[in-house]
């Protein structure tokens, strides 16, 4: 409901707070006058009702004071008090805009103002009674008692109006819905569902694990227990849908609730994260289908925007690999902090085209902002840096697919190692202030080509940090949801095709994070990282891939076959975020650990060849590494 500005001279409907004549200007006719006339009549009726309640309160208070002995009542004093009430209350209510539509009828704000107007009126009566002296017009106890009685009658009248109006708009149809979570978001959601006659959801029950809320009701919708009572509640109410009204719910809780809902035959919906509706109320339009990000966990990130803006605002920022999953999100987020110039570099012209479309609604490939270049070409990269002189560099260009690089290790070497050296050398030549190398958790205790080449990229970054004037560091994190070629993208494609869904091992675990969350922490890391470090992002609890597959399949209404193929060369059973000897130290940010990276010796830097060195092919393997297994196609039930 709209709230009029106190100085707005136009009348407002006291029921809704809306202007009765809020419509485009046109010639006045009888139809235009009817709403205004109706509004004036309602205003007068409510004012008359309130004055009548005050007068009735005075009469009742006086009668009670003399225990019904009417012959003892000083009628002169009562008439004076009533006349004073009729004069003062309209003035007080007008000052508070009580009957001008400032408040919704029956709201807490209206009741506060009503109490103020009643208090002022009866205080004026009490003051006159005291000043008159002896004999008193009324006993001193009458005005306070009259104030309480009058306020109760006025409040009851308003609550009755509000209840009638809410009942009139209460939906009679829609999906019968259970709401899990009765905090602020859950309460707002239920009220939104019941306040819209066209709501697609009809709340029929509440669920919450808090035993202190076992008797709770929200607008007549009653509590039916905790999550363990979900099946019984669904059966008792014939519910069709469960809405998880916990914007900060972790992945484990969402997975558990989702599984219980599926077992009870309920469709599952969720509310967005808190950051998506910050400073506004939750409504039925916020309810959406559950997705993989919800199942794997959603976290709130405490980002120091001012600190980020300080090292990006007005600066020339270059992002390599800008057309990739991480690079494109980096460009989108960096753009929000007002860089002086954002250079987006990629060797894939189609990826640059798609990125510019998502950022600007048009492909500005003719502008110098889009840079077509390959980081393997050292001369081109050096020339580009010398001409454009970036001040901040985010290096996200890399080859990243484990199985592909196991087949073609030289390609991984040329891009991830030699390409990174080219970018670092060019950045050092122009003295960039910040260089952030995007790494991976596979660099910790590396057992495959991807991990080893990315570990060398971390060491190269540390080496140039020692000789450069800027802040050169790496940022390490695991799998990101929605990145191209990720296991979740593969699962989704296989499910869409009808199966089978292939999984290397049901016990495999991986760290997951959404792309925006990962990139937000990468940008934050650039503000707090120290030269030569690898900053490790907190990825939460590792997730069992078998559980992910089972949950994805549960969202389908058809059976999907699952086949276990066995771990392939270079794959770990469990990924790690820290290598042997690395300590989890978080001096600046609760979700970012700082790990020192040893720099390379000069002779090592000079001896980097053009091919993947055979001497790095076999290294000590961590305990959780499982030797490659022959491919099998066992069909399992998850």
pLDDT digits (tens, 9 = 90+) for 546-602: 888 887 787 777 788 888 888 888 778 888 888 888 888 898 888 889 999 999 887
DSSP label of 568: P
* Lowest mean pLDDT, pick from 294-303, 448-457, 501-510: 294-303
Residues 6+ apart with CB under 8 A from 133: none
Phi first, then psi: give them for residue 351, nearest 5 degrees.
-65, -40
Band of pLDDT at residue 304, cut at 50, 70 and 90: low
Residues 628, 629, 634, 638: is their CA dihedral positive or negative? negative
In DSSP terms, which residues pair with 242 in a beta bridge? Answer: 178, 268
pTM over 0.85: no
Beta-bridge partner residues of 289 = 269
- Within 10 Å of residue 350's Cβ, how many Cβ atoms? 9
| Phi, psi angles (nearest 5°) of residue 562 | -115, 130
More confident residue, 144 or 252: 144
Work out the average pLDDT over 171-185: 85
41 vs 616 pLDDT, higher one: 41
Q: How confident is the model at residue 499 (pLDDT cuts 50, 70, 90)?
A: confident
The pLDDT of 453-461, averaged and rounded, is 95
The distance of Cα 554 from the centroid of its chain, to the nearest Å, equals 25
Q: d(Cα 530, Cα 534) in Å, to the nearest integer?
A: 9
Task: Tell me the pLDDT band of 356, cut-offs 50, 70 and 90.
Answer: confident
What is the structure's pLDDT at 297? Answer: 61
The pLDDT of residue 415 is: 96
- Counting residues of the chain whose pLDDT is more than 90, the rounded percentage is 27
Instruction: Assign 321 a pLDDT band (cuts: 50, 70, 90).
Output: very high
Cβ–Cβ under 8 Å, residues 585 and 387 = no
Identify which has the larger pLDDT, 17 or 391. 391
pLDDT of amino acid 171: 65
Residue 630 has pLDDT above 50, yes or no: no
pLDDT band for position 483 (cuts 50, 70, 90) = low
Low-confidence winner among 189-193, 386-390, 402-406, 427-431 (lowest mean pLDDT): 189-193
Res 401: pLDDT = 87
For position 237, what pLDDT does the model report? 93
The residues near 151 (Cβ < 8 Å, ≥ 6 apart) are: 114, 115, 118
Least confident of 147-161, 164-178, 314-328, 621-635: 621-635
For 158, half-sphere exposure in the C-beta direction (CA atoms, 13 angstrom radius) is: 27
DSSP code, position 305: H
Q: Which one, of 312, 357, 354, 353, lies nearest residue 336 by Cα? A: 312
pLDDT of residue 381: 96
Cβ(561)–Cβ(491) below 8 Å: no
pLDDT at 519: 87
Q: Looking at residue 14, what is its pLDDT?
A: 43
CA distance 414 to 449: 12
Please report which confidence band the pLDDT of residue 242 belongs to, taking 50, 70 and 90 as the band edges.
Answer: very high
* Ranges 43-47, 306-310, 390-394, most confident: 390-394
Instruction: Compute the C-alpha angle 544/545/547, nearest 5°.
Output: 70
**Residue range 320-349: average pLDDT?**
93
Helix (H) or strand (E) holding 201: strand 201-207
Q: To the nearest whole number, what is the mean pLDDT of the chain? A: 81
Three-state DSSP string of 606-633: HCCCCCCCHHHCCCCCCCCECCCCCCCC
User: Cβ neighbours of residue 141 under 8 Å, at least 6 residues apart?
Assistant: 61, 65
Residues 6+ apart with CB under 8 A from 391: 315, 316, 317, 432, 433, 434
Interatomic CA distance for residues 434 and 522, integer angstroms: 12
Grouping H, G, I as helix, E, B as strand and the rest as coil, residue 175 is strand
Q: Please determine, for residue 616, whether its predicted confidence score (pLDDT) is greater than 60.
A: no
* β strands within 441-550, DSSP E: 471-477, 479-481, 501-503, 509-510, 512-514, 533-537, 543-544
Q: Is 404 helix (H, G, I), strand (E, B) or coil?
A: helix
Residue 277 has a pLDDT of 46
Q: Give the residue, 481 or 240, on which the prediction is more confident.
A: 240
* pLDDT tops 70 at residue 621: no
Q: What is the percentage of the chain residues whose pLDDT exceeds 70?
A: 82
The gap from C-alpha 576 to its chain's centroid, in whole angstroms, comes to: 28
For position 127, what pLDDT does the model report? 87
Lookup: tokens for 189: 């959601």
What pLDDT is stored for residue 276 in this prediction?
A: 47
Is the per-residue pLDDT at 445 higher than 70?
A: yes
User: pLDDT digit string (tens) for 461-478?
Assistant: 999 998 778 899 999 987
- For the ranges 96-100, 118-122, 220-224, 274-278, which has the lowest average pLDDT? 274-278
Q: What is the pLDDT of residue 27?
A: 44
Evaluate if residue 166 carries a pLDDT over 80: no
pLDDT at residue 205 tops 50: yes
Which stretches of 357-477 are assigned E, i.e. beta strand? Answer: 370-372, 392-395, 434-440, 471-477
Average pLDDT estimate for 282-307: 64
Q: Which of the two residues, 51 and 367, has the higher pLDDT score?
A: 51
């Amino acid at each position: 409901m709209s709230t009029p500005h106190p100085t707005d001279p136009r009348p407002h409907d006291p029921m809704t707070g809306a202007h009765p004549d809020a419509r485009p200007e046109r010639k006045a006719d009888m139809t235009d006058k009817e709403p205004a006339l109706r509004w004036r009549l309602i205003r007068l009726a409510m004012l008359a009702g309130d004055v009548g309640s005050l007068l009735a309160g005075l009469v009742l208070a006086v009668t009670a004071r003399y225990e019904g002995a009417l012959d003892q009542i000083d009628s002169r004093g009562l008439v004076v008090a009533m006349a004073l009430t009729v004069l003062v209350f309209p003035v007080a209510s007008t000052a508070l805009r009580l009957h001008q539509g400032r408040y919704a009828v029956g709201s807490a704000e209206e009741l506060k103002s009503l109490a103020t107007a009643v208090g002022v009126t009866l205080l004026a009566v009490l003051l006159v009674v005291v000043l008159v002296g002896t004999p008193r017009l009324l006993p001193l106890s009458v005005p306070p008692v009259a104030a309480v009685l009058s306020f109760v009658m006025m409040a009851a009248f308003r609550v009755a109006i509000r209840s009638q109006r809410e009942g009139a708009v209460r939906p009679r149809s829609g999906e019968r819905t259970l709401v899990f979570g009765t905090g602020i978001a859950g309460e707002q959601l239920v009220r939104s569902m019941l306040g819209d006659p066209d709501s697609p959801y009809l709340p029929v029950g509440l669920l919450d694990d808090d035993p202190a809320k076992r008797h709770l009701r929200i607008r007549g919708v009653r509590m039916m227990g905790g999550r363990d009572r979900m099946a019984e509640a669904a059966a008792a109410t014939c519910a069709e849908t469960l809405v998880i009204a916990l914007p900060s719910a972790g992945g484990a809780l969402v997975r558990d609730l989702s599984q219980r809902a599926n077992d009870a035959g309920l469709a599952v919906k969720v509310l967005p994260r808190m950051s998506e509706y910050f400073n506004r109320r939750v409504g039925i339009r916020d309810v959406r289908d559950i997705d993989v990000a919800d199942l794997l966990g959603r976290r709130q990130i405490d980002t120091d925007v001012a600190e980020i803006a300080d090292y990006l605002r007005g600066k020339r920022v270059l992002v390599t690999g800008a057309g990739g999953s991480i690079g494109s999100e980096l460009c989108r987020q960096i753009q929000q902090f007002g860089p002086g110039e954002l250079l987006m570099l990629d060797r894939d012209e189609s990826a640059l085209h798609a990125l510019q479309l998502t950022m600007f609604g048009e492909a500005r490939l003719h502008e110098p902002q889009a840079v077509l270049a390959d980081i393997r070409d050292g001369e081109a990269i050096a020339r580009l840096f010398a001409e454009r002189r970036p001040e901040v560099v985010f290096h996200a260009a890399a080859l990243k697919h484990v199985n592909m690089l196991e087949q073609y290790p030289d390609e991984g070497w040329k891009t991830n190692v030699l390409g990174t050296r080219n970018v670092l050398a060019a950045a050092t030549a122009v003295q960039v202030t910040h260089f952030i190398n995007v790494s991976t958790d596979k660099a910790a205790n590396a057992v495959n080509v991807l991990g080893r080449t990315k570990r060398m990229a971390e060491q190269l970054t540390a080496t140039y940090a020692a000789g450069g004037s800027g802040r050169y560091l790496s940022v390490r994190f695991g799998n990101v949801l929605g990145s191209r070629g990720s296991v979740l993208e593969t699962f989704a494609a296989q499910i869409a095709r009808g199966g089978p869904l292939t999984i290397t091992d049901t016990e495999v675990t991986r760290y997951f994070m959404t792309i925006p969350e990962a990139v937000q922490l990468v940008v934050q890391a650039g503000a707090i990282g120290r030269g030569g470090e690898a900053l490790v992002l907190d990825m939460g609890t590792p997730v069992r891939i078998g559980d992910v597959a089972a949950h994805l399949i549960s969202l389908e209404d058809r059976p999907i076959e699952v086949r276990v193929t066995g771990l392939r060369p270079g794959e770990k059973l469990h990924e790690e975020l820290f290598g042997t000897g690395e300590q989890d130290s978080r001096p600046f940010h609760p979700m970012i650990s700082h790990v020192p990276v040893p720099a390379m010796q000069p002779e090592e830097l000079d001896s980097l060849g053009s091919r993947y060195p055979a001497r790095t092919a076999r290294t000590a393997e961590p305990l959780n590494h499982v030797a490659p297994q022959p491919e099998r196609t066992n069909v399992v039930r998850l």
